[in-house]
C-alpha cells in the first residue's frame, strides 16, 4: 500500500549498490559523446565530512546527474588534498603518524561521502599523499626546473626563537608563536620558487576570456596580479648622504609621477639595503628595523599596524630642482617585496602618505586641483584627494591633467642623465610575487633536489624518483623531522658521486591542488598525464568551490596549467572554463570559560525569554556564544551531516542543502529545516507512489482536455523551468519550482490514486510522475529510483535521458498584465498574448480604476512594456 512511509535507510544503500554494479558513473576516456567535466574542490581529510562539503558535493552531483541525463559523457571524480599541517599537529598531540592519521581520516570520510549517493567515479580516486601522485609531481617539478620555471632565492619566514621552527601565518597570534608564546621574528631563508611572475601578463590578460567565472573573482584576480604602469625614478642622494651610505641614488617605483611636485619625503623598507647600511651605525634605527621585523611576514598585520617611520638623516634631491631636498625615512608600511622597496610620499594625494606626513609634521602641498575648487584656497584637510583635476603648484605641469603630466614627467626624465643612466624609465610593475613553495615540514611532497658541496643543487634523476618520505620519524620536538632524520638526508651526489644531502624542504600543499584536476583525467598513467586524455577532458567545464579560494588556489592552478603546457604535459592553458563559488556554511562559535573553542555537540543551548545561553556539557560551566563564522576545524564550529543522513537519509540532506539559500550565499546550518524537508520527502513519496501504483503499464501522454490538460501544462512548464534553473545552478529556485508543482498536482494525482481518473488523466498522470521524478532525480536520486520502480519499471532511472517538454504546453494564450497608475500597481488586465499596442491601450483606458484615476482627462503618458507591464501616468 502506498501510504507506507518511505524508508531511506533501506532504499538508499540498495540503489547505491545498483548504481555501483552497473558502473554508471565510471567515465570512459574513449566515449564518443560530448564530454562534461564537473568537479568540486577536493576536501582536506580532516576526519569528518562536514555540512559545507555536503553542500559543495551535492551541487556538483546535481550538475553531474543532470548533464548525464542530458546526454553528456560526464567526468565527476573525487580525491583528497591530503598533505598539510593538521596531520603533523595531530602527530605531535596524539602520537599518531601523519600517514596513519591521514589515511584513517580518508577511509572515514569516503564512507561518509558514499552514504550521500553521489554519482562519483570512484575508480579515479587518489590522495595527494599517495606516492604514486607525488612521484609525478616531482617529475613535473624537474621538468619545470629544466624549463627555467623554478628558481631559488631568499625570502622571509616567521621564526619562533624558542621552538626554533618556522611558523605558518596562522600559527602567529598577535605577533607570538602559538605554542611557545615567544615574540616571532622574521628570518631570511633560501627557498624554492615557481616563477609565476613570468606569466603575470598572460595570467592578467587571459582573465578576459574567463567569461563563465563570477565577475568578482575575476576582479579579485586582477587586483591580486596588480598590473600597474609607472616609472622607476632614481633619486639622487645629496653629497653628504651619498658619502654616508656609499650609494648615489635610490630607485623608486611610482605610478603617480604627475604628483612629483607634491612630494615631501622618501620612505624605504626596513629591509632596504640602504636601511640596513644605515642601521649599522645607528643603534636606534637598528632597533626600529628589528621592531618592524617582529611584526612577522603577514601583509595584513603589517598594514593594520600604526604607520611609523624613522628619519635616517639621509637627504635626496628633487629630480627637477637640485636645491630642493627631501628627507629619507625608514617606514614600516613600505614592503621590500613590492616595486623597489622605496616610495616617494605625496601626502596631498595618498591617504597613507598623508597620515604619515601629519604624524611627522611634513609639508602637505596639493598638486591636483579638483574641478570647481579655487587654487588659492584649496587645502588638504584630513583626507587626501585622489581624484581627477588640474595640476597646480607644479611649475611646468600647471594646467595639465594628471595623465598629461605623467607623460610630461616621464619623457623629460627619460632624457635626463643621472650617474650615467637615465633618471627614469617607464616600467610595467606587477604586485604579484613569485610563488614560494618551500616548507620546512615533513608532511608534504619532497622537493627532488640534492645539495652537493662540489656540484651545488643537483636535481634527482628521474630514474631515482620517487623521493619517498621516510616513515620512521619522530614528532617529539618542533621543527622538521626530515632535517634530523639519521639517514634519509644523506645521499651521494648523482653528478660526482660524492657525499651530499637531500633537500629537506617539502612543497607547499597548493602545488598538490594545482594539478589534481588534470591527474584525474588519467590517474593510472606512469607519466604525470596521458596527454590525449588531459586534452580531451580539460578544461573543467564546471568547477565548484568556496569563495575563500578565489585568489590563491585558482591563480596557482592557472599558472601550473600554463607551466604544464610549457613542459609539454597538456595543451590547454586555462584549467577551469566555468567557475562557481558557493557560499560558506557558517555556524555559531562557542568558547568555554577558559577560552577554548567548543564544538556544537559540546554545549547545551537554552533560551530564556529570548536570552540565549550556552553551557559546556562536560564542566557545567557557562560558555560564550560567538558570532556566525565559517565552519572550520580550528574554531570547532563544525556540524556533521551524518546526523541528518542517519535519521532522515541522504535525499533529505541533499534537498535540504540546496533549498532555500541561494548557492553562492553563506548558509547557516540549523536543525529546524531538516525535519520539514523530510516531511516534504515523505509527502512526495506518498503522492508519487500512490498514483504510480495505478499507472503501471499506462502509456504517458500529454493531457488533452480539462484537468488532464491543466496537469500537463503545469508539469511541462515546471520541467522547462527546473532544467533552466539547474543550468544556471539556481538550485534554490529549482527547489521552489518543484514545491509549487507538487502543490498543483496533489489534487489530480490524489484522484488517480483513488482510482477516480479517466484515461486522459491517467495518461497525463503517468507522464507527470515520470517528469517529476526526472526533475527531482538530480537532487533526490534514491527516492526517484524507488518511484520509478513503483511504476513497474526495472531499469535504472539514473541511466535515462532528461525528458523533453512540449513548447505548445508552456505558452499561455492569455496573459495578465499588471496595470500601474503613476508607478503603483492598481489592477490587472487580462488579454490575449498577441494583442497589439493599440488593443492594449484601448483596453487599459476602459478599465474602471483607470477611468476613475483619469477623471475625464487624457493620460500624460502611457507606457506599455510588451508582455510585462502597463503604466498610466496621470
Partner RNA sequence: GCGGGCGUGGUGAAAUGGUAUACACACCGGACUUAAAAUCCGGAGGCUUCGGCCAUGCGGGUUCAAGUCCCGCCGCCCGCACCA
Give the residue, chosen from 673, 692, 723, 778, that forms a contact with RNA under the rule CB under 7 A: 673
Give the residue, chosen from 86, 348, 466, 781, that forms a contact with RNA under the rule CB under 7 A: 86
Q: How far is the CB of 436 from RNA (least distance, A)?
A: 5
Q: Which of residues 129-148 bind RNA (CB under 7 A)?
A: none
Q: Which of residues 551-570 bind RNA (CB under 7 A)?
A: 551-553
Number of helices followed by number of strands (H, E) in the chain:
27, 37
Residue 180 burial (C-beta neighbours within 10 Å; 0-12, 13-18, 19+): middle
Q: How far is the CB of 528 from RNA (least distance, A)?
A: 20
Q: Which of residues 38-67 bind RNA (CB under 7 A)?
A: 44
Q: Which 8-state DSSP code applies to residue 699?
A: P
The residue among 72 and 559 lying less far from RNA, judged by its C-beta, is 559
**Alpha helices of 515-663 — where are they, by DSSP H?**
516-519, 531-537, 552-566, 642-648, 650-658
The residue among 304 and 606 lying less far from RNA, judged by its C-beta, is 304
| Residues contacting residue 513 through CB under 8 Å, at least 6 positions apart | 41, 42, 81, 128, 553, 556, 557
The residue among 741 and 784 lying less far from RNA, judged by its C-beta, is 741
Measure the N-to-C terminal CA separation of the chain; round to a whole number of Å: 63
Asked whether the CA dihedral 556, 562, 563, 568 is positive or negative, the reply is: positive
Phi, psi of 194 (to 5 degrees): -90, 140
Q: By CB under 7 A, which span of 365-373, 545-553, 559-567, 639-647 interacts with RNA? A: 545-553
The reply to whether 393 sits near RNA by the rule CB under 7 A is no
Residue by residue, DSSP assigns 851-874 as HHHHTTSPPSEEEEETTTEEEEE-
CA dist 819 to 233, 832, 848, 851, Å? 65, 15, 12, 12
The residue among 696 and 873 lying less far from RNA, judged by its C-beta, is 873
Q: How far is the CB of 88 from RNA (least distance, A)?
A: 9
Phi, psi of 633 (to 5 degrees): -60, -40
The residue among 490 and 739 lying less far from RNA, judged by its C-beta, is 739
Q: Which of residues 231-250 bind RNA (CB under 7 A)?
A: none
Q: Which of residues 740-799 bind RNA (CB under 7 A)?
A: 740, 743, 746
The residue among 69 and 82 lying less far from RNA, judged by its C-beta, is 82
Please report how many Cα atoms fall inside a 13 Å half-sphere around the Cα of residue 709, on the Cβ side: 7
The reply to whether 629 sits near RNA by the rule CB under 7 A is yes
Q: How far is the CB of 477 from RNA (least distance, A)?
A: 17
- Residue 387: closest CA among 374, 401, 375: 401
The reply to whether 838 sits near RNA by the rule CB under 7 A is no
Q: Which triple of cell numbers denotes residue 853?
A: 484615476
The reply to whether 732 sits near RNA by the rule CB under 7 A is yes
Q: How far, rounded to the nearest angstrom, does the alpha carbon of residue 650 sit from its chain's CA centroid?
A: 26
- Residue 564: closest CA among 524, 610, 518: 518
Q: Are 25 and 120 in contact (CB under 8 A)?
A: yes
Query: By rule CB under 7 A, what count of residues binds RNA?
Result: 99
The reply to whether 14 sits near RNA by the rule CB under 7 A is no
Give the residue, chosen from 381, 595, 610, 823, that forms a contact with RNA under the rule CB under 7 A: 823
The residue among 445 and 452 lying less far from RNA, judged by its C-beta, is 445
Give the residue, chosen from 210, 467, 730, 775, that forms a contact with RNA under the rule CB under 7 A: 730
Please report how many Cα atoms fall inside a 13 Å half-sphere around the Cα of residue 153, on the Cβ side: 11
CA dist 193 to 256, 526, 776, Å? 31, 26, 48
The residue among 321 and 668 lying less far from RNA, judged by its C-beta, is 668
The CA distance from 444 to 740, in Å, is 51
Q: By CB under 7 A, which span of 368-376, 433-441, 477-485, 766-774 interacts with RNA? A: 433-441
User: Rg of the chain over CA atoms, in angstroms?
Assistant: 34
The reply to whether 640 sits near RNA by the rule CB under 7 A is no
The residue among 679 and 833 lying less far from RNA, judged by its C-beta, is 679
The reply to whether 550 sits near RNA by the rule CB under 7 A is yes
Is 728 flagged in the annotation as binding? no
Does residue 204 come out as left (phi exceeding 0), alpha (psi in the -120 to 50 range) or beta? alpha
Q: Are 570 and 534 in contact (CB under 8 A)?
A: yes
Please report how many Cα atoms fall inside a 13 Å half-sphere around the Cα of residue 75, on the Cβ side: 29
The reply to whether 857 sits near RNA by the rule CB under 7 A is no
Q: By CB under 7 A, which span of 61-69, 405-413, 624-632, 716-724 interacts with RNA? A: 624-632
The reply to whether 863 sits near RNA by the rule CB under 7 A is yes
The residue among 234 and 256 lying less far from RNA, judged by its C-beta, is 256
Give the residue, chosen from 110, 433, 451, 531, that forms a contact with RNA under the rule CB under 7 A: 433
The reply to whether 868 sits near RNA by the rule CB under 7 A is yes
Q: Which of residues 191-220 bind RNA (CB under 7 A)?
A: 191, 215-216, 219-220
Q: How far is the CB of 274 from RNA (least distance, A)?
A: 23
Most distant pair of Cα atoms in the chain: their distance: 106
The reply to whether 690 sits near RNA by the rule CB under 7 A is no
CA dist 66 to 328, 710, 734, 837, 860, Å? 64, 26, 12, 41, 51
Give the residue, chosen from 395, 683, 804, 833, that forms a contact with RNA under the rule CB under 7 A: 683
The residue among 14 and 868 lying less far from RNA, judged by its C-beta, is 868
The residue among 494 and 662 lying less far from RNA, judged by its C-beta, is 662
Q: How far is the CB of 531 from RNA (least distance, A)?
A: 27
Q: Which of residues 288-317 bind RNA (CB under 7 A)?
A: 297-300, 303-304
Q: How far is the CB of 184 from RNA (least distance, A)?
A: 10
Helix (H) or strand (E) holding 733: helix 731-754
The reply to whether 509 sits near RNA by the rule CB under 7 A is yes
Residue whose cell numbers read 576545524: 633
Give the residue, chosen from 318, 495, 733, 751, that forms a contact with RNA under the rule CB under 7 A: 733
Q: Are 278 and 285 in contact (CB under 8 A)?
A: yes
The CA distance from 314 to 235, in Å, is 12
Q: By CB under 7 A, which span of 99-107, 238-246, 436-444, 805-813 interacts with RNA? A: 436-444
Give the residue, chosen from 478, 479, 662, 859, that forms a contact with RNA under the rule CB under 7 A: 662
As annotated, the binding site for ATP includes: 633
As annotated, the binding site includes: 633
Amino acid at each position: 500500500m502506498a501510504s507506507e512511509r518511505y524508508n531511506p535507510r533501506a532504499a538508499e544503500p540498495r540503489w547505491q549498490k545498483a548504481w555501483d554494479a552497473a558502473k554508471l558513473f565510471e567515465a570512459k576516456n574513449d566515449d564518443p559523446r560530448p564530454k562534461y567535466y564537473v568537479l568540486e574542490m577536493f576536501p582536506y581529510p580532516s576526519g569528518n565530512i562536514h555540512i559545507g562539503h555536503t553542500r559543495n558535493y551535492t551541487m556538483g552531483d546535481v550538475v553531474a546527474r543532470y548533464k548525464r541525463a542530458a546526454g553528456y559523457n560526464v567526468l565527476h571524480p573525487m580525491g583528497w588534498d591530503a598533505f598539510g599541517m593538521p596531520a603533523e599537529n595531530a602527530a605531535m598531540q596524539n602520537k599518531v603518524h601523519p600517514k596513519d592519521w591521514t589515511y584513517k581520516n580518508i577511509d572515514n570520510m569516503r564512507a561518509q561521502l558514499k552514504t550521500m549517493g553521489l554519482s562519483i567515479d570512484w575508480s579515479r580516486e587518489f590522495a595527494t599523499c599517495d606516492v604514486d601522485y607525488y612521484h609525478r609531481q616531482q617529475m613535473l617539478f624537474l621538468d619545470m626546473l629544466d624549463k627555467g620555471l623554478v628558481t631559488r632565492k631568499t625570502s622571509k619566514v616567521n621564526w619562533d626563537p624558542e621552538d626554533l621552527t618556522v611558523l605558518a601565518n596562522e600559527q602567529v597570534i598577535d605577533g607570538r608563536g602559538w605554542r611557545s608564546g615567544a615574540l616571532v621574528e622574521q628570518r631570511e631563508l633560501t627557498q624554492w620558487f615557481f616563477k609565476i611572475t613570468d606569466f603575470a601578463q598572460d595570467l592578467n590578460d587571459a582573465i578576459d576570456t574567463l567569461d563563465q567565472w563570477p565577475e568578482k573573482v575575476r576582479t579579485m584576480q586582477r587586483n591580486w596580479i596588480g598590473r600597474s604602469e609607472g616609472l622607476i625614478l632614481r633619486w639622487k642622494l645629496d653629497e653628504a648622504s651619498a658619502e654616508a651610505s656609499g650609494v648615489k641614488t635610490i630607485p623608486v617605483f611610482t605610478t603617480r609621477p604627475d604628483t612629483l611636485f607634491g612630494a615631501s619625503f622618501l620612505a624605504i623598507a626596513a629591509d632596504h639595503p640602504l636601511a640596513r647600511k644605515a642601521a649599522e651605525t645607528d643603534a636606534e634605527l637598528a632597533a626600529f628595523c628589528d621592531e618592524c621585523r617582529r611584526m612577522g611576514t603577514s601583509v595584513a598585520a603589517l598594514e593594520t599596524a600604526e604607520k611609523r617611520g624613522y628619519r635616517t638623516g639621509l637627504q635626496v634631491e628633487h629630480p627637477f630642482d637640485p636645491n630642493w631636498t627631501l628627507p629619507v625615512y625608514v617606514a614600516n608600511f613600505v614592503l621590500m617585496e613590492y616595486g623597489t622597496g622605496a616610495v616617494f610620499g605625496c601626502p596631498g594625494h595618498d591617504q597613507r602618505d598623508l597620515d604619515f606626513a601629519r604624524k611627522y609634521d611634513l609639508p602637505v602641498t596639493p598638486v591636483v586641483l579638483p574641478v570647481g575648487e579655487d587654487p588659492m584656497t584649496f587645502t588638504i584637510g584630513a583626507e587626501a584627494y585622489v581624484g581627477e583635476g588640474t595640476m597646480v603648484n607644479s611649475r611646468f605641469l600647471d594646467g595639465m591633467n594628471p595623465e598629461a603630466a605623467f607623460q610630461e614627467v616621464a619623457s623629460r626624465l627619460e632624457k635626463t642623465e643621472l650617474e650615467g643612466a637615465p633618471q627614469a624609465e617607464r616600467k610595467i610593475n606587477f604586485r604579484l610575487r613569485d610563488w614560494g613553495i618551500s616548507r620546512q615540514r615533513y608532511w608534504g611532497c619532497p622537493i627532488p633536489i640534492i645539495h652537493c658541496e662540489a656540484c651545488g643543487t643537483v636535481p634527482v634523476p628521474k630514474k631515482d624518483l620517487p623521493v619517498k618520505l621516510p616513515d620512521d620519524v619522530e614528532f617529539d620536538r618542533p621543527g622538521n623531522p626530515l632535517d634530523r632524520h639519521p639517514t634519509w638526508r644523506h645521499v651521494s651526489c648523482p653528478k660526482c658521486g660524492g657525499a651530499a644531502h637531500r633537500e629537506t624542504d617539502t612543497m607547499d600543499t597548493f602545488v598538490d591542488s594545482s594539478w589534481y584536476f588534470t591527474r584525474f583525467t588519467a590517474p593510472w598513467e606512469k607519466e604525470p598525464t596521458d596527454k590525449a586524455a588531459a586534452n580531451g577532458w580539460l578544461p573543467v567545464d564546471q568547477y565548484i568551490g568556496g569563495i575563500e579560494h578565489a585568489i590563491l588556489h585558482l591563480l596557482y592552478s592557472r599558472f601550473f596549467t600554463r607551466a604544464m603546457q610549457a613542459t609539454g604535459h597538456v595543451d590547454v592553458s586555462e584549467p577551469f572554463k566555468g567557475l562557481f563559488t558557493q557560499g560558506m556554511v557558517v555556524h555559531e562559535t562557542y568558547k568555554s570559560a577558559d577560552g577554548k573553542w567548543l564544538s556544537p555537540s559540546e554545549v547545551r543551548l537554552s533560551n530564556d525569554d529570548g536570552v540565549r545561553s550556552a553551557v559546556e556539557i562536560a564542566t557545567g560551566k557557562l560558555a560564550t556564544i560567538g558570532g556566525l563564522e565559517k565552519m572550520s576545524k580550528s574554531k570547532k564550529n563544525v556540524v556533521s551531516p551524518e546526523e541528518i543522513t542517519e535519521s532522515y537519509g541522504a535525499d533529505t540532506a541533499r534537498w535540504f542543502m540546496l533549498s532555500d539559500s541561494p548557492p553562492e550565499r553563506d548558509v547557516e546550518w540549523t536543525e529546524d529545516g531538516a525535519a520539514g524537508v523530510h516531511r516534504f520527502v515523505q509527502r512526495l513519496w506518498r503522492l508519487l507512489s500512490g498514483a504510480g501504483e495505478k499507472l503501471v503499464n499506462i502509456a504517458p501522454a500529454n493531457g488533452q482536455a480539462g484537468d488532464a490538460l491543466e496537469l500537463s501544462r503545469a508539469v511541462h512548464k515546471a520541467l522547462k523551468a527546473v532544467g533552466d534553473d539547474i543550468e544556471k545552478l539556481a538550485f534554490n529556485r529549482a527547489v521552489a519550482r518543484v514545491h509549487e508543482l507538487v502543490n498543483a498536482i496533489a489534487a489530480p494525482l490524489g484522484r488517480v490514486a483513488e482510482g477516480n481518473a479517466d484515461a486522459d488523466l491517467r495518461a497525463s498522470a503517468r507522464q507527470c510522475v515520470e517528469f517529476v521524478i526526472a526533475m527531482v532525480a538530480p537532487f533526490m536520486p534514491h527516492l526517484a529510483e524507488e518511484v520509478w520502480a513503483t511504476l513497474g519499471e526495472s531499469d535504472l532511472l539514473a541511466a535515462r535521458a532528461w525528458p523533453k517538454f512540449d513548447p505548445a504546453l508552456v505558452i499561455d494564450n492569455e496573459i495578465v498584465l499588471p496595470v500601474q497608475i503613476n508607478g503603483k500597481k492598481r489592477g490587472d488586465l487580462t488579454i490575449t498574448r498577441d494583442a497589439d499596442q493599440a488593443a492594449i491601450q484601448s483596453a487599459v483606458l476602459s478599465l474602471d480604476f483607470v477611468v476613475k484615476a483619469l477623471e475625464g482627462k487624457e493620460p500624460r503618458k502611457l507606457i506599455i512594456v510588451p508582455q510585462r507591464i502597463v503604466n498610466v501616468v496621470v
